[in-house]
Amino acid sequence: MRRNLVVGNWKMHGSRAANAQLLGGLKEAGPWNADVAVCVPFPYIAETALALTGTAMVFGAQDCSSHEQGAYTGEVSSAMLQDIGCRYVIVGHSERRAYHAESDQLVADKAKAALAHGVTPIVCVGETRAEREAGQTEAVVKRQLATVIHTLGHCCGEMVVAYEPVWAIGTGLTATPEQAQSVHAVLRAQLMAATDRASVMRILYGGSVKPDNAAELFRQPDIDGGLIGGAALKAADFAAICRAAAQ
């Protein structure tokens, strides 16, 4: 059986004071019978690491460089993330694909760099509303995932995949459990053809996951947890989602 994983993606939110309150609330509410992680802005990783010491929660980053090291001003390498204890790094979030022009290949290269340093990449895929309305959902997510599978080779079984329909992110529109499950099944089948680890890999759903819809989403056979944006910023909401994921 796959153990559910719930990841909070704080995006560009937080402050030292707000983070302390949020993490304090989570520490009081946990632990849960599920894997739980928070992916926080770079400046707060070290303090998050301290705050989570002695808990079952782990932490990660929201992006990394595809480069090993060197003259790349402003970039953060996966070796650095490993050095400070990050367990996960989100790569290919639709906000980075859209606002920072990240290509499928760049996303795949970032995932490869992360794995090379023992940081598990959470690779995001998802279609826009226009692509869904044009009936291209399957083709889009398969193309995005295929580049990563090709680039990682046999290591692709080590990643976490997150299906995040762009139209559901931060909009309050959630994919129905059936809509999400059908895309997750497509992704699982694609992974099955690539790695014998496909049946143990986690495929997360992200896009307006809230305490009141989480349980039904997580009940779907190929949904193995969530990548949570807005609701990850409130301890009570994130804790309720972690409870819904507990098995």
Catalytic residues: 93, 164
Q: Which of residues 49-78 bind ligand 13P (CB under 6 A)?
A: none
In the list 31, 118, 153, 170, the residue contacting ligand 13P (rule: CB under 6 A) is 170
CB proximity list for 42: less than 8 A, separation 6 or greater: 61, 76
Within 13 Å and on the Cβ side, how many CA atoms surround 158?
19
> Smallest gap, in angstroms, from Cβ of residue 229 to ligand 13P?
2
> How far does the chain reach from its first CA to its final CA, in angstroms?
10
d(CA 133, CA 138): 12
In the list 230, 237, 241, 242, the residue contacting ligand 13P (rule: CB under 6 A) is 230
3-state DSSP helix/strand/coil percent for the chain, to nearest 5?
A: 50, 15, 35
What is the DSSP-derived secondary structure letter of residue 6? E
Helix axes 235-245, 211-218, angle to 10 degrees: 20
d(CA 117, CA 77): 9
Q: Note whether 165 binds ligand 13P by CB under 6 A.
A: no
Q: Which of residues 92-151 bind ligand 13P (CB under 6 A)?
A: 93
> Smallest gap, in angstroms, from Cβ of residue 176 to ligand 13P?
15
**How far is C-alpha 33 from the chain's CA centre?**
19
Output the residue with the shortest Cβ distance to ligand 13P.
229
Per CB under 6 A, the segment of 29-37, 132-140, 212-220, 222-230 that binds ligand 13P is 222-230
> Smallest gap, in angstroms, from Cβ of residue 24 to ligand 13P?
22
Per CB under 6 A, the segment of 25-33, 69-77, 200-208, 235-243 that binds ligand 13P is 200-208
Q: Note whether 24 binds ligand 13P by CB under 6 A.
A: no
Q: Note whether 169 binds ligand 13P by CB under 6 A.
A: yes
d(CA 247, CA 240): 13
In the list 14, 207, 224, 240, the residue contacting ligand 13P (rule: CB under 6 A) is 207
In the list 164, 222, 224, 237, the residue contacting ligand 13P (rule: CB under 6 A) is 164
Task: Name residue 162's beta-bridge partners.
Answer: 124, 204
Cβ proximity to ligand 13P: between 23 and 228 the closer is 228
Residue whose token pair is 């990394």: 64
In the list 140, 227, 240, 244, the residue contacting ligand 13P (rule: CB under 6 A) is 227
Could you tell me how many helices (H) and strands (E) the chain has, helices first? 10, 8
- 3 state DSSP class of 55: coil
- 3 state DSSP class of 36: strand
Q: Which of residues 79-98 bind ligand 13P (CB under 6 A)?
A: 93
Binding-site residue total for ligand 13P (CB under 6 A)? 14
Residues that bind ligand 13P (CB under 6 A): 9, 93, 164, 169-170, 206-209, 227-231
